[in-house]
A and B are shown apart, each in its own frame.
Chain A
Amino acid sequence: MTTRTAALSALLVLGTTLAAPVTFLSVQNEDQGATKIIGELAREYQKTNPASPYTYQNAPQTDLAQKLQLLAASSSLPTVYNIDQPALLGQLYKTGQAADLEATFKKLGIYNTLNPAAVALIKRQNDGRLVTLPLELNIEGFWYNKAIFAANGLKEPRTWAELVKDAATLNAKGLQPFAASGDQKWPLTRLIGGYAARKYGYDVMDRVKAGTLKLTDPGFVEAARAVQDLGKKNYFGKGVNTVDYATAVDQFLQGKAAMIYMGSWVLSDFNDAARNKIGTQNIGLFNFPAVTGGKGSTNDWSLNTGISTAVNQKFNDADLGNWIKYVFTRYGNKALAESGMITGFTVTQTPRNLPVLTSLTQTKLKAVKNGYLWFEANFSPKATSVATDNAQLLVTGDITPQDYMSKLQDALK
């Protein structure tokens, strides 16, 4: 080997060692939720490991799939990235651009930091593979204003009929029963999914995926009709389809609506004293109520692990292993202590003063018998769009429950 070749090889080796940056492509702002916690831990790691500088990139959620496809086509996906389409993630896994995290975590000896329930949820969504990180563990249900309920002599409803009756009582007194963002569309389909889970059981959408249940079956049409009825009776307020996410949350937090169906990711908004005018002590949570003749149980909850986050297999070497080990053995504790976030990572140090709603959510989570995913979790992007777009027409009565479900069944083909 000539001196020049040796020098060049040395430079290359050095270059490889030095260039191990970690880039996180996220739909969240850098000071928000999981992205904030990861960013802080990564910068901590960078102090002792300057060879692994951390950079953050942002992509709006609406452009995420398109951006990921372009990056993946040129083999330029970042180290860690948000991804909101299971089908796309499956393709990336097959082309070696998404890591098998079960193998990775086991190899690093930190598999026990993952909450088994969260792992099971991710596997159910991704053909039995652990390909995303459980950065959150969210529970979904009806959050309600205790003061409004007490003032009107209402109790947490146990059945759908009781829920509708409560809504009627509130509406008759000029109070808006539910806040919902029809502009975001998914808050409406969540209700259809919840109703179906109570009607057929928690595994309802897995059965639809397997083809043993059809969306045109009577239980689904009943679910669509039940949600349509709420819309037709104006229980979501005027102009539900023009209400954006922040407005819906604010309607609830300003006491203008008595209930909101939402995931526990909303706790960061509930814990924001500037926005929350009704006080965290005044907020309660109940599960999706039972429906007449339904097989589902109110011990089953809708759960999810937040926006999916994958690791690029291309960079999955020893250096990245050290980074993963550092960040994700600390992630669960830090997220809970600093942001009151419940994650899919085990917590070894429980903070003394947990926010009251975080404690409430934890209590509910502990009692979960079976978890189920949201309505469109198994759908293709096209079917998801058919479900959400038409939900707007469903609640305004512009499409019949039968038409809604048959359009959706057609889109599944």
Chain B
Amino acid sequence: MERTLRDWRAITVFVGPALLLFVVILVVPIVWSLGYTLTEGSVIAGFHFVGLSNYVRLAQDPAFWSALWFSVKYAVLVSAGQVFFGLMLALLYSFYLKRSSVLVRTLVFLPVVLPTVAVAQLFVKLFAIAPQYGFLNSFLHAVHLDDLVQPWLGQGGSAFWVIVVMDVWKAMGLYAVLLYTGLMDIPEDTLEAARLDGAHGWKLTQFIILPLLTPVIVTSLIFSLNGTLKVFDSVLALTGGGPGTSTTPLTLYMYKTSFSYSQYGYGSTIAVALTLLCMIVSLIIIRRSREN
């Protein structure tokens, strides 16, 4: 094995194609994009060098900071929700439903495979106010709570929570399955020994299950945080970033800047900021988990 790893020809044959693909698909566009951040212009008018002015503009742009704040706020809440409810569901499958959990697992997993646009349409209808009341407003009206009837998606505060609820609901099934497989890997002997020592319920979860499940939880968190920091489709389909720009994450701001406003250089600068954010979050989580 060691001899094979020292053989540069073997390395070239085994690693080369994958490395080449990685470089062409990932590294080249990132470097290319980095180059764009130093320019201003469009594909038609041409690009010209502007130095670091896009970075200066980024630091002074209130729309960028508000999009960044939205992305972070959203990512923290949704990731926490997805992994927490995923964990609760996994524990439910494993300890209460046991062998009969197949149907429930399938049902909870169903939204994961549904297209985001379809799920968003469903939520638009659930929270609608015009032309007809959606489910929630109809319910409030039926129980004579008309004062609470409101345009849930038409005002920034409530629209944010609708997006959070939708994305937690949509993805918790995936994390439930991931964590459930982690639970399956915990040896029954260990659990049995803990039970004999008097650990039951929350104590068993706290001292045995959660520590053994930590690697899977950390992986889930990295997946979830990176996915939620890059949220695009659910926001676009549900609110389009509005009302105003109150539900605009970095990704949507980057997209609009590049493709609607034709400011490719500045759009790339926002993309670089987003990449850095994802890298920092991943590094923090990996480092913390290693320390533990």
Contact = CB atoms under 8 A, between A and B. Distances in A.
Interface residues of A, number: 36
Given A72-B44, A237-B130, A242-B151, A385 B246 contact: no
Overall SS of chain B's interface: loop
A238 interface: yes
Contacts of A101: none
B203 interface: no
Interface in B88-143: 124, 128-131
B261 interface: yes
B242 A241 contact: yes
Given A381-B261, A385-B261, A396-B154, A241 B43 contact: no
B42 interface: yes
A163 interface: no
B42 A69 contact: yes
B161 to A, nearest CB: 15
B155 A396 contact: yes
Contacts of A243: 130-131
A73 B241 CA distance: 29
A368 interface: no
A23 interface: no
Given A91-B45, A396-B155, A242 B244 contact: no
Interface in B168-186: none
Overall SS of chain A's interface: helix
Given A72-B43, A392-B242, A398-B244, A242 B261 contact: no
State which size class the interface on B falls in. Answer: 20 to 34
B120 to A, nearest CB: 13
B261 A393 contact: no
Interface in B31-49: 42-45
Contact of B256 (A85, A242, A385, A393): A385
A239 B129 contact: yes
A147 B156 CA distance: 37
Contact of A241 (B42, B44, B243): B243
B153 interface: yes
Interface string B233-265: 000000001111110000000001001111100
B54 to A, nearest CB: 14
Given A381-B262, A398-B155, A242 B44 contact: no
Contacts of B260: 65-66, 381, 385
Given A91-B45, A385-B256, A392-B242, A380 B261 contact: yes
B261 A382 contact: yes
Contacts of A91: 42, 44-45
B259 A65 contact: yes
A243 B242 CA distance: 13
Interface string A227-240: 00000000001111
Nearest to B236: A62
A182 B261 contact: no
Given A182-B154, A398-B155, A399-B244, A242 B45 contact: no
A242 B263 contact: no
Contacts of B43: 69-70, 72-73
A69 B262 contact: yes
Contact of B154 (A69, A88, A242, A389): A242
A251 interface: yes
A88 to B, nearest CB: 7
19 contacts: A85-B262, A88-B44, A88-B262, A182-B154, A238-B151, A239-B128, A239-B154, A240-B151, A240-B154, A241-B242, A242-B153, A256-B131, A381-B260, A382-B261, A385-B260, A390-B244, A392-B244, A396-B243, A398-B244
Interface of B: 42-45, 124, 128-131, 149-151, 153-156, 241-246, 256, 259-263
Interface of A: 65-66, 69-70, 72-73, 85, 87-88, 91-92, 95, 182, 185, 237-243, 247, 250-251, 256, 380-382, 385, 389-390, 392-393, 396, 398-399
The 7 A-B residue pairs whose C-beta atoms are closest, nearest first, are: A239-B151, A239-B129, A73-B43, A241-B154, A393-B244, A392-B243, A66-B259
Given A70-B43, A240-B130, 13 more contacts: A65-B259, A72-B44, A91-B42, A91-B44, A185-B242, A239-B150, A256-B131, A381-B261, A382-B263, A389-B244, A390-B244, A396-B154, A398-B156
